Chain A
Amino acid sequence: MLAHYGYKDGSGDYFIVIDTDKCDGCGECVTACPYGVLEVGEDENDPFREEPVAKVTEDHRKKIKYSCAPCKPTSGKKPLPCVQACSPDAISHSW
């Protein structure tokens, strides 16, 4: 499942997309994120999935534009820690 966490508002689209079929729930992204945006837990949208899955925390879902901003400087962009930490390549950002 492609889970889009985030929102669209007047200024643009801000979604973190997690491919739950690729995610193995290892939690590397949780450790890598300096701002606590991600967590690993039960898949809320698939009640029959047994394995844990990565998701964006409830607290950050409505403000990820700001939560993720420090990792997205306008110049001198570095690879995003969460995307880099994910070995199955399950995380992407829409902006």
Chain B
Amino acid sequence: MEKEYWRWPESRWTSSDIDWKTGDIISAGVDVGSVSSQAVVLVDGELFCYSNYRTGSDSPESAQKVMDKALEETDLTLEKIHHTVGTGYGRVNVPFANRAITEIACHARGANFMYGPSVRTILDMGGQDCKAIHCDEKGKVTNFLMNDKCAAGTGRGMEVFADLLSIPIEEMGKLSFKVEKEPEPVSSTCVIFAKSEAVGLLRKGWPKEKVLAAYSSAMAHRVVELLERIKVEKDFAVTGGIAKNEGVVKRIESELKIEALEPQHDTQIAGALGAALFAKALVEKERGLR
């Protein structure tokens, strides 16, 4: 079988020092994205377990699968979870969710938890869209913009390039710096046109690292343009799959002249984490605690 260069590693994690049985509120968030799905379980607002898997063609099935994976190595069951919030592109297709909340609200809330209350600007580079969010110290959205019409600057675009250049997707960031001099960015930000342009450059004899550098900087430039429409303010954080690609993140940082915060957890879980935090808040509201 041909190697699938685009395939990124799936993951799951369980906290070793939390016993869910002692928890008062067990809340969950499921983010069914266009490319990846995540499930996060919180025990009294502390991260208990999460999983990150590829979304299949069936959203309800993907939601179920990612939740099963999150709970896999724990003895917690779905029935024990008090409240579940669905988010993301397939949020209305999470069969066991009590409520659906947009990924914009969830990402801000999740990033506020992951990176701390100093985060003001969040760039979520998703599988098929790109979101620029400005939030306050409580993680409440104050300004947002989402571009889901065009795949430029998204994970899907990077997957296309991984395949074209036959480079495993996790190595793309590092390899994009193996150039003597930073090349001009590819002129088109559209994934389809950028791909044809890249094919042309490869024919011209450009090494693939140079083509990759040209594409990574075009991608960075493109999202910086989106970010500039909302207010870019420190602290700045990047979430989503592309946040793991230093080739794009470093180029965004140098264009913005702001450094991005170092992630503590899998950057792809921000949306699901925010959803789980909303689920907790909804339980508290129900119980009359807030």
Contact = CB atoms under 8 A, between A and B. Distances in A.
Given A15-B229, A46-B140, A10 B189 contact: yes
Contacts of B278: 47
Contacts of A7: 147-150
Given A7-B150, A46-B105, A2 B190 contact: no
A93 B134 CA distance: 19
A1 B225 CA distance: 20
Given A8-B150, A9-B149, A9-B150, A45 B225 contact: no
Contacts of B142: 1-2
Contacts of A46: 105, 140-141
B144 A4 contact: yes
Contacts of B93: none
Interface in A31-47: 44-47
A1 B139 CA distance: 12
A2 B144 CA distance: 6
Main secondary structure of the interface of B (DSSP, over half): mixed
B143 interface: yes
Contact of B147 (A3, A8, A45, A94): A8
A4 B145 contact: yes
A13 B134 CA distance: 19
Given A9-B149, A10-B189, A3 B140 contact: no
Interface residues of B, number: 26
A8 B105 contact: no
Given A4-B229, A10-B190, A15-B229, A45 B150 contact: no
A1 B141 contact: yes
A22 interface: no
Interface of A: 1-4, 7-10, 13, 15, 44-48, 62, 94
Given A44-B102, A46-B141, 16 more contacts: A1-B143, A1-B144, A2-B144, A3-B144, A4-B145, A7-B148, A7-B149, A7-B150, A9-B149, A9-B150, A10-B189, A44-B104, A44-B105, A45-B105, A45-B144, A47-B99
